[in-house]
């Protein structure tokens, strides 16, 4: 459900990053560093945040709508009456699915973003393939990928928690479900942005960037 939107978002995102980075690198006379700057921008900040936006807008809204509809139909009360825990039967599988989906979505966005940046730099901006890849390899490390994947997982968990909480508390019929979905998307995405700032500051303090 989120794969196609991820591709459609990551392509223009990669174009924007590449154009901005290439323009700046040309102004300061550091065109050979375009690969490093663009690639690191996609990995460290772009991919986790795009993942959060897609997970919140697609997966989070779907979870909130599903649980909200079940709530107003009193399905969860019926499950509790039968001795079934809704959190274990309904919420836990969605959490596990998000834990598996978030890193895969992040990797897809990284691949598409860097790939688009590479093609744009080489084909339309007369970049040198070897220079692009060597500069990227000199600065990008496995730690950058691990941090990006960790961010996406954290954002996904937060989005699922918010979506489930809003869906389980939906009231007032279909209108209440719509309000729950809207609140789940807004709160989840804002929480992801706030967490991104905090995590970025912590990573900068304890894991400073180094040339690989």
pLDDT computed for residue 36 by the predictor: 67
Range of the domain at 60: 3-21+33-202
Residue tagged 């997966």 (tokens)? 59
Domain assignment of residue 183, yes or no: yes
Domain assignment of residue 89, yes or no: yes
- Sign for the pseudo-dihedral over CA of 196, 197, 201, 204: positive
Q: How many residues does the chain have?
A: 212
Domain assignment of residue 88, yes or no: yes
Domain assignment of residue 26, yes or no: no
Residue pair 163/182 in contact (Cβ under 8 Å)? The answer is: no
Domain tally, the chain = 1
Domain assignment of residue 82, yes or no: yes
Q: Note the Cα 68 to chain centre separation in Å.
A: 24
pLDDT computed for residue 192 by the predictor: 92
Domain assignment of residue 208, yes or no: no
Instruction: Encode the chain (212 residues) as per-residue pLDDT tens digits.
Output: 566 777 777 777 777 777 777 666 666 665 556 666 777 778 888 888 888 988 888 889 999 999 999 999 888 889 888 888 888 888 899 999 999 989 999 999 888 888 887 787 777 766 677 777 777 777 778 888 899 999 999 999 999 999 999 999 888 788 889 999 999 999 999 999 999 999 989 988 877 665 54
Domain assignment of residue 151, yes or no: yes
Query: 68-106 in b/e burial notation, b at 16+ Cβ within 10 A?
Result: bbbbbeeebeeeeeeeeebeeebbeebeeebeebbbebb
Stated pTM of the model:
0.85
pLDDT computed for residue 152 by the predictor: 93
Domain assignment of residue 209, yes or no: no
């Amino acid at each position: 459900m989120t794969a196609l939107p991820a591709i459609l978002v990551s392509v223009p995102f990669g174009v924007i990053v590449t154009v901005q980075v290439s323009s700046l690198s040309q102004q300061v006379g550091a065109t050979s560093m375009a690969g490093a700057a663009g690639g690191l921008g996609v990995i460290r900040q772009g991919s986790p945040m795009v993942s959060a936006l897609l997970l919140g807008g697609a997966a989070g809204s779907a979870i909130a709508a599903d649980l909200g509809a079940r709530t107003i139909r009193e399905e969860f009360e019926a499950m509790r009456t039968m001795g079934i825990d809704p959190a274990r039967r309904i919420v836990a599988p969605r959490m596990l699915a998000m834990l598996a989906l978030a890193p895969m979505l992040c990797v897809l966005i990284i691949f598409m973003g860097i790939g688009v940046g590479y093609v744009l730099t080489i084909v339309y901006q007369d970049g040198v393939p070897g220079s692009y890849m060597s500069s990227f390899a000199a600065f990008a490390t496995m730690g950058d990928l691990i941090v990006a994947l960790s961010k996406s997982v954290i954002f996904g968990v937060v989005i699922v928690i918010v979506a489930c909480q809003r869906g389980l508390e939906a009231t007032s019929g279909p209108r209440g479900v719509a309000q729950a979905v809207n609140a789940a998307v807004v709160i989840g995405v804002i929480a992801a942005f706030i967490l991104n700032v905090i995590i970025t500051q912590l990573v900068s303090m304890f894991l400073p960037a180094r040339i690989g």
